[in-house]
A = this chain, B = another copy of it.
Amino acid sequence: MVLDRLKQIASQVTNTVSPPHPLDPLSSLEIETATSLLRQEKGQLYYNAVTLLEPPKAEMLQWLADPDHSPRPARIADIVVITPNGEVMDGHVSLTEHKILSWTHTPNVQPLITMEDLQIVEHVVRKDPKVIEQCAILGIPASDMHKVYCDPWTIGYDERFGNSVRLQQALMYYRPHVDDSQYTYPLDFCPIYDSNKQEIIHIDIPKVRRPLSTAPPHNYTAQSIRDTIGYRTDLKPINITQPEGVSFTVNNRVINWQNWSVHVGFNYREGIVLNNITYFDKAENAVRPIFYRLSLSEMVVPYGNPERPHHRKHAFDLGEYGGGYMTNSLSLGCDCKGSIHYMDANFVNRAGAAQVIKNAICVHEEDAGILFKHTDFRDDSVIVTRARKLVISHIFTAANYEYCVYWIFHQDGTVQLEIKLTGILNTYAMNPGEETKGWGTEVYPGVNAHNHQHLFCLRIDPNIDGPNNTIFQVDAAQGAGEVGSEENFYGNAFYAKKKRFTNPVEAMSDYDGSTSRTWEMSNENKLNPYSKKPVSYKLVSREVPALLPKKGSLVWKRAGFARHAVHVTKYNDQSFYPAGRHVPQTSGEPSMGLPQWIEENPTENIANTDVVLWHTFGITHFPSPEDFPVMPAEPMTLLLRPRNFFVRNPCLDVPPSYARTPAEVAAGKSGCACGKDGKSVLV
C-alpha cells in the first residue's frame, strides 16, 4: 500500500513535463516522496527538515554552462529527523533513484526548533503545577492560567543541562485580555522545557521577585487606537500601478529583469537563496556570471544583560529556528505594493507531510529615484534618467521580532541587501524604582527592554567572471611623504590601499569606518581593458558593529562567525552553515562552523581560487520608549557594487525621462523623452 503510493508519486515526479531546475526547492511531491520512502524503510520518524541537497558545485557549473548536453544533477533530499527514542538522524534520499543514499545517527546534537516544537510549549506551561505556583506568587490565580503566555526560545546553552536533552526556555508573559500585548506584562521566572518528554523540567526563579505589573495595557490594536488617540485622517492615498504589467519575466524560478538573471531558491533555514546571478553585458555581448550564490546563512542576537538567566538570550534565528520556517504569508497591499509575483514555500511537517506557506516570497518592481543626471551649466542642456529596482523579499517572525529581508537588484549592476527590523522588543519584568543598571531601558512602567545586537552573516559565493576569485581588503589611505616633501608637497595624496588575502587566517578582518574599509571580490585573471584593474565587485557595508560579548564568552564561542566582519574560506560543497549544521545547544567547545573549518586548514590557499566570503553585519540596539509597544521599522543596508567590472556605466541604455543636447538648445529644439514611441516610460 505504502509502496504503491510511493511508486505512484515517483512516477509523477519522473513524468513531470518540465523537470525542476536543479536548484529548485523540493516540491510537495518530492518532500512526500522522500518521507514515504523513509516511512517504508525506517518506520515512524519525527521530521525536522526535508530540504534540497544542493548539487555539487562542479556538477552544477557544468550543467549551467550547457544544460542541453550536460548530465542533469540528481535531485537529492537532505533530511534531519528525530526518532521516537530521541536519536537524531541525518540522511540523504535520492529522488532521482528513489533510494536512501545515507542514514547516520548524529550524537550530542540538537536540530533546530520547528514551529511545531514551539507551538506546544505554551500548552504544557499552562498546565504545569510549578508554573501555576510561580504565577500565583506573582499575583495570577490558577483560574487565569489561560491568560499566561510564553515565547519559547532556544535555550542557547545551559551547562547544567548540556545538549543531550532537547530543551527550550519559556519566556513568560501575561495578557489581561487575549488582544492585549503580552510584552507589557513580562513575568520574572523562566521554565525550562524538555521537548522529547514534553514537560517542564526546571524553573529559573530570580532572587528578587517582580509581581505582575498593574500598569494599564499598552496596545497597538485598531480598537485600542480608536478608543484612545484615534486614527489620523489626513493621509491621502498613493496609488502605484503598472498598467502594462511588470518588466520582469519568470521562468519557473528564474527571473530575468534588466539584463539580470537570477534563480530564486528558498529553504527552511536561510529563507531566500539567490543562485546563478548573471548580467548580460551589452558591451561584451555576453552573459557574465557575478555570484554563484547569495544568502543569509546565520545570525545571532546576543542580549547584553549579564544577570542569569538572560545570558541565555542569544538566539541564532536561522540555525536554531529557520528563517524559512518562520516566514510570513504575504498579502497584497500590506507587505508589498504594485504588481506582485508571489512564490510559495514548501516544507515538511513533523509527521512527514508536505505543507505550504502561500505567498512566501514577493517579487516586485519599484521606482528608485534618479538613476543618473547631468546638466551642463553653460546652456542647461540636460539628461535625467529614472531608476527602477527589482525587489525579492520575504519576512519572517522570530517570536517577538520581525525581519523583513529585501534582495534588491539595480540597473547599474548593484545588488543591495536591505533588512528592516520591526515587531516587538523582547521584554523583562522590573519593579517600580528598580534600576536597569544600564543593561536595558524601561520602555513602559514595569517593562525592561534589554540591550541587544542583531548580527547577520551574509554568505557570498562570488563568481566574478568565473569561480576563481581573490578577496582584497581596501582602505582609503594617505599617500607617503610629509607635507612639504617633493612627492606630497601639499599633503593631499591619497589612494586605495589593498591587502590581498591568501589564506583564511589573514582574511579574518574587522571593520574600519575611518578608512571607509571595503572588500573587493576580484577575478585577477581578467583585467578591465581601460583601468587595467581586475574585474571586481565591492562589498560596501557600513553597519558593522563589533561583537560585544567578550572573547572567550559563551556567545563568542558559539557564534564564531561574528568575531570578524569578514572571513574567507575556500569553497567546498559541505560548508554552508557558519555556526554549524545543528546549532541548538552547542557549547562552543569546540566552536562549530567557520572557526572549525579555518582551524582545520589555516594556511589553505584562498587566492585566485573558488572562495566564499562570509560577512557579519548588523546593529546594536539600545531600546527606547518609542520602540514600544511595536517598533517602527529600523532599516539597515549593504551594497555589492561593480568596480572595474564594466567598461562603462551599464545603464546608459535606460530610456531617459528627458534629454536635450547643446545642439538642440542652440537650435531651439525641444528635447526628448526616449521611451517607446518617444514617450517617457515613467508617468
Contact A530/B655 with A365-B238, A674-B231 known, Cβ cut-off 8 Å: no
A265 to chain B, nearest CB (A): 23
Contact A240/B242 with A632-B649, A652-B229 known, Cβ cut-off 8 Å: no
Most buried by B among A118, A483, A512: A483
8 Å CB contacts to B: which residues of A191-235? 218, 220-223, 225, 229-235
Q: CB within 8 A of A658: which of B334, B380, B397?
A: B334
Task: Check: A644 CB closer than 8 A to any chain B CB.
Answer: yes
B306 adjacent to A626 (CB under 8 Å): no
Give Cα A484 to B624, complex, Å: 30
A221 to chain B, nearest CB (A): 5
> Which residues on B sit within 8 Å (CB–CB) of A139?
none
Which residue in chain B gives the minimum CB-CB distance to A510?
Answer: B514
Task: Check: A90 CB closer than 8 A to any chain B CB.
Answer: no
A240 adjacent to B239 (CB under 8 Å): yes
8 Å CB contacts to B: which residues of A358-373? 365-367, 369-373
Contact A630/B652 with A338-B238, A513-B513, A644-B624 known, Cβ cut-off 8 Å: yes
8 Å CB contacts to B: which residues of A490-532? 490-496, 510-516, 528, 530-532
> Which residues on B sit within 8 Å (CB–CB) of A656?
222
> Which residues on B sit within 8 Å (CB–CB) of A510?
514
A545 adjacent to B476 (CB under 8 Å): yes
B247 adjacent to A236 (CB under 8 Å): yes
> Which residues on B sit within 8 Å (CB–CB) of A402?
373-375
Q: CB within 8 A of A237: which of B303, B551, B681?
A: B681
Task: Check: A320 CB closer than 8 A to any chain B CB.
Answer: no
Give Cα A218 to B283, complex, Å: 13
Give Cα A239 to B646, complex, Å: 31
Contact A438/B495 with A378-B122, A630-B383 known, Cβ cut-off 8 Å: yes
> Which residues on B sit within 8 Å (CB–CB) of A370?
335, 404, 420, 422, 633
Contact A528/B625 with A377-B397, A488-B306, A659-B221 known, Cβ cut-off 8 Å: yes
Which residue in chain B gives the minimum CB-CB distance to A536?
Answer: B624
* Copies per complex of this chain: 2
Report whether over half of chain A's contact residues are helix, strand or loop; otherwise say mixed: loop
8 Å CB contacts to B: which residues of A30-78? none
Give Cα A234 to B372, complex, Å: 19
8 Å CB contacts to B: which residues of A449-489? 451, 453, 474, 476-479, 481-483, 487-489
> Which residues on B sit within 8 Å (CB–CB) of A619?
516
B231 adjacent to A490 (CB under 8 Å): no
B514 adjacent to A655 (CB under 8 Å): no
A647 to chain B, nearest CB (A): 5
B625 adjacent to A441 (CB under 8 Å): no
Stretch from A346-354, A578-586, A661-669 at the B interface = A661-669
> Which residues on B sit within 8 Å (CB–CB) of A118?
377
A237 adjacent to B683 (CB under 8 Å): yes
Task: Check: A597 CB closer than 8 A to any chain B CB.
Answer: no
Contact A372/B643 with A122-B378, A238-B242, A682-B337 known, Cβ cut-off 8 Å: no
Give Cα A382 to B620, complex, Å: 26
Which residue in chain B gives the minimum CB-CB distance to A234?
Answer: B247
A sample of 7 more A-B contacts (CB under 8 A), given A225-B674, A629-B652, is A239-B683, A333-B682, A334-B384, A441-B531, A483-B553, A516-B545, A531-B625
